């Protein structure tokens, strides 16, 4: 996935083109090339070379991307983590790193560093928290991401004259991919490092493309500025939000995938998810919902250090992380229904939380919602909804009325809670496991609706 050779080419062809802009400064492609080269010489001087793992937890996203490029130039594998982690936390999540970078790398003078760029190199590693919130590091070959760049560029219409807003932390594989894809394309990457609440309008005044998670899109559409395209991943997109984007003149390209699988399916026009170029899809199961299995060039190699995770292989090149979907045949639309490990077993029925959440988000006053299973002595679990209100919660009677109108009996929540703001992972997704834990501990910030 690292893209040093792409940046070197852009630096030679368009040296003055703005490459990356962050909260602490900006760099042209020529400056990014020079800074990455100097930092690579520093790493090489520290003994970093092919096969090494360089863990990177730098707060400034421009310095972080420079360190990623430097590790790539040195022939090493960069692993981007959360800048807030200390050494003890890093030791918990990865033991194999040869170097830990937690500050901008110094520059060292010397001859140009020629990138070592073999398709089968282990050239990128990233973290996935999944629905359980337990981070695990996933390693990829260079080709498993870089060769998908062209396909995404063509599907979304992203080119070297675009300005791409990446409004989230680069520890997220979604946002990291968006940033390096922009640089590989020769576009300008706007990388605030987190959601730019106060400066969103200023960013959108120049951004022509944004790459983000679904729950952030409505806020973007309130002030789209120069925006032409939104690339949306990480969760299902509400069709009503897509329609709202169309009215604002913003084309939406949404996709389904996983950190371990990369791209699996893409929806370029609202007609539904279809296989991403190069991907084969199967849904395995007898009747009802089945597990999504994919076979493609974009799959990860596995987890660092032999860590356990949801990734499974069948020996024929097919892999799965347990996501559920309706029965599927080649040429049809893929209807993903959620992560299998999050399914709720209640009274002999299987409830997919995402199905319930989709209905409850329609209730006026509900900003977002998380559905989990709460222990029950006879049913095993009962469906429990925690709604994000931002203020006054809608009455329980209204929530139940919508649930009765749109959900089967087994799907309807038996317990209702509200909170002003849901806790979220660094990628912007609701922290489902944390919510379950806080709910079990009787967190006073989660108010029971009666």
Rounded Cα distance, 391 and 423, in Å: 15
- 430: pLDDT strictly greater than 50: yes
Rounded Cα distance, 127 and 94, in Å: 10
Confidence at 2, pLDDT banded by 50, 70, 90: low
Which residues lie below 8 Å from residue 144, measured CB to CB, with a gap of 6+? 1, 262, 297, 298, 299, 300, 301
pLDDT in tens, 216-263: 899 999 999 999 999 998 777 888 899 999 999 999 999 999 889 999
What is the rounded average pLDDT for all residues in the chain? 89
C-beta atoms surrounding 330 within 10 Å: 9
Q: Which domains does the chain have, with CATH numbers?
A: 1-147 (3.40.50.980), 260-340 (2.30.38.10), 343-448 (3.30.300.30)
Q: Cα(first)–Cα(last) distance of the chain, in Å?
A: 50
pLDDT in tens, 355-385: 899 899 989 999 899 999 888 876 778 899 9
- At residue 159, φ and ψ (nearest 5 deg) are -135, 180
pLDDT in tens, 314-331: 989 999 988 889 999 999
Confidence at 299, pLDDT banded by 50, 70, 90: very high
Q: Which residues pair with 223 in a beta bridge?
A: none
Strand ranges of the sheet holding 274-275, from the earlier edge strand across to the other edge: 25-28, 18-22, 188-190, 163-165, 209-212, 229-232, 251-258, 262-267, 274-275
Of all residues in the chain, the percent with pLDDT exceeding 70 is 94
**Within 13 A of 83's CA, how many CA atoms are on the CB side?**
14
- 418: pLDDT strictly greater than 60: yes
pLDDT in the model for residue 285: 86
- Between residues 98 and 91, the one the model is more confident about: 98
**Among the listed residues 25, 258, 231, 216, the one whose alpha carbon sits nearest the alpha carbon of residue 126:** 258
- 133: pLDDT strictly greater than 60: no
| Average confidence (pLDDT) over 277-288 | 90
Confidence at 132, pLDDT banded by 50, 70, 90: very low
Of the listed ranges 7-16, 72-81, 117-126, 341-350, the least confidently predicted one is 341-350
**Among the listed residues 382, 383, 374, the one whose alpha carbon sits nearest the alpha carbon of residue 354:** 383
Rounded Cα distance, 432 and 329, in Å: 31
Confidence at 340, pLDDT banded by 50, 70, 90: low
**Among the listed residues 145, 138, 213, 193, the one whose alpha carbon sits nearest the alpha carbon of residue 153:** 145
**Among the listed residues 200, 190, 199, 183, the one whose alpha carbon sits nearest the alpha carbon of residue 163:** 190
Confidence at 395, pLDDT banded by 50, 70, 90: very high
- Between residues 136 and 269, the one the model is more confident about: 269
> Judging by DSSP bridges, how do beta strands 136-141 and 447-448 pair with one another?
unpaired
- Between residues 113 and 118, the one the model is more confident about: 113
């Amino acid at each position: 996935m690292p893209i040093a050779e792409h940046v070197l080419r852009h630096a030679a062809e368009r040296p003055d083109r703005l490459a990356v802009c962050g909260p602490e400064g900006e760099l042209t492609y020529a400056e990014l090339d020079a800074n990455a080269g100097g930092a690579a010489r520093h790493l090489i001087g520290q003994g970093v070379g092919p096969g090494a793992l360089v863990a990177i937890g730098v707060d400034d996203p421009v310095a972080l991307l420079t360190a990623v490029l430097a590790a790539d130039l040195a022939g090493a594998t960069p692993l981007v983590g959360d800048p807030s982690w200390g050494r003890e936390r890093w030791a918990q999540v990865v033991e194999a790193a040869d170097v830990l970078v937690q500050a901008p790398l110094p520059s060292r003078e010397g001859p140009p560093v020629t990138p070592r760029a073999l398709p089968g190199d282990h050239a990128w590693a990233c973290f996935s928290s999944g629905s359980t919130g337990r981070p695990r590091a996933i390693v990829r070959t260079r080709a498993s991401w870089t060769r998908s760049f062209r396909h995404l560029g063509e599907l979304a219409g992203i080119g070297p004259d675009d300005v791409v807003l990446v409004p989230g932390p680069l520890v997220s594989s979604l946002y990291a991919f968006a940033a390096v894809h922009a640089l590989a394309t020769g576009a300008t990457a706007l990388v605030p490092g987190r959601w730019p609440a106060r400066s969103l309008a200023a960013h959108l005044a120049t951004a022509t493309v944004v790459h983000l998670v679904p729950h952030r899109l409505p806020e973007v559409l309130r002030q789209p500025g120069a925006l032409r395209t939104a690339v949306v991943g990480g969760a299902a997109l509400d069709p009503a939000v897509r329609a709202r984007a169309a009215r604002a003149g913003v084309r939406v390209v949404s996709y389904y995938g996983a950190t371990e699988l990369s791209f699996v399916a893409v929806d370029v026009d609202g007609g539904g998810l279809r296989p991403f170029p190069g991907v084969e899809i199967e849904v395995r199961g007898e009747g009802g919902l089945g597990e999504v299995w994919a076979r493609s060039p974009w799959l990860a190699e596995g987890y660092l250090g032999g860590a356990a995770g949801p990734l499974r292989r069948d020996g024929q090149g097919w892999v799965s992380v347990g996501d559920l979907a309706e029965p599927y045949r080649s040429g049809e639309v893929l209807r993903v229904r959620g992560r299998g490990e999050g399914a709720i077993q209640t009274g002999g029925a299987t409830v997919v939380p995402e199905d319930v959440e989709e209905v409850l988000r329609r209730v006026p006053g509900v900003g977002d919602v998380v559905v989990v299973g709460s222990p029950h002595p006879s049913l095993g679990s009962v469906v429990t909804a925690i709604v994000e209100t931002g203020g006054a919660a809608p009455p329980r009677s209204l929530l139940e009325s919508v649930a009765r109108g749109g959900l089967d009996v087994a799907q309807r929540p038996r317990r209702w809670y509200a909170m002003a703001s849901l806790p979220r992972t660094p990628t912007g997704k609701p922290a489902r496991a944390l919510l379950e834990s806080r709910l079990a501990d009787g967190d006073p910030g989660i108010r029971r609706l009666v």
